[in-house]
Amino acid sequence: MPPRMQPTARQQRLGAELRKLREAAGMTAREAAGLLGTNPMHMSHVESGKAGVSEERVRRLASNYACADSDLIDALVTMATERGRGWWEEYRGVLGSGFLDLAELEHHATFLRSVEIVTIPGLMQTEEYARAVFGYMVPELAQAEIEPRVAHRMRRRRVITGDSPITYEVVIHEAALRFRVIDSKLACDQIQLILELSEADNISVRVIPFSVDGFAGANCSMLHAGGPVPQLDTVQRDALLGGIFMDAQSQVARFIKVFRKVEAAALGEDESRVFMRRMLDEL
């Protein structure tokens, strides 16, 4: 079977985790290939996500790598043996791979934590807000390009509102709530949606007011997606040319600390709802 031309971020993550286990065991790719009866090139494709790997091979590698973490091994096996196409595959060839990778990351997450300073979190945006954001891009997108992006963003929300919603903790700065991407009516509609979502048991929304002293976290926007085991947690951050996925445990640990620091500056959940209702009266 020829190698995948464009492996997904999740396929790349599986390969990267297998490479980490091999390197921790002090084995070369050639030695690992020998364990599977294959060649170093194929092993390279496995570790880059360009080639699939069976459950039996994952377990054989883990055993020879002396990995005793059964939960991690089971999680890697699940990643290796996943079958079927997620809903985001409907957008392949329509949207860039970054859109699909983010939806897949959220779909498989056990929880989500988000910090947003100047924009409303994608999972909480109204259609009008999302349409305004995509319509502001340079160069401008044609309407036919905007609508699939909006529809995709709205569908992503099911991970926190669907039949099996996951826990979602979000910290939003007052700046994001006050920016009028169109007008005051849209700002009110957007805050109203956040208030409605915040009433769900699995969703926690906390606001950082402008009046808070000592907050210097204007560059702290991020999404932390929990994996089935902590080693498979991922942090996603927006960048000029698309999102960046970070999965090194040192990076993830750093952003967990950042989240807790930002969270400490925010109002409590009830106070945040009172604050947002007051904003509605002002707008």
The series of mean pLDDT values per 10 residues for the chain, 283 residues long, is 85 97 96 94 96 96 96 97 91 94 97 96 97 90 94 98 97 95 92 98 98 89 96 87 85 92 95 97 87
pTM assigned to the model: 0.93
The residues, ordered by sequence, that sit 6+ positions from 4 with a Cβ below 8 Å of its Cβ are 11, 49, 50, 51
User: In this structure, what DSSP letter does residue 181 have?
Assistant: S
Question: Token pair for residue 25?
Answer: 């065991």
Q: What pLDDT score was predicted for residue 240?
A: 56
CA dihedral 192, 195, 196, 199 (to 10 degrees): -170
Q: Are 139 and 124 in contact (CB under 8 A)?
A: no
The values of phi and psi at residue 206, to 5°, are: -130, 140
Per-residue pLDDT, 50? 96
Q: Residue 48's pLDDT is what?
A: 96
Question: Could you tell me which of 272, 88, 71 has the C-alpha nearest to residue 172?
Answer: 272
In the DSSP assignment, the letter for residue 117 is S
| pLDDT for res 4 | 86
Tokens 């065991």 sit on residue = 25
Q: Which helix (H) or strand (E) holds 31?
A: helix 29-36
Residue 1: what pLDDT? 67
Q: What is the reported pLDDT for 241?
A: 58
| Tokens encoding 71 | 């939960």
Question: How confident is the model at residue 214, as a pLDDT?
Answer: 87
Rounded to whole angstroms, the Cα distance separating 283 from 275 reads 12
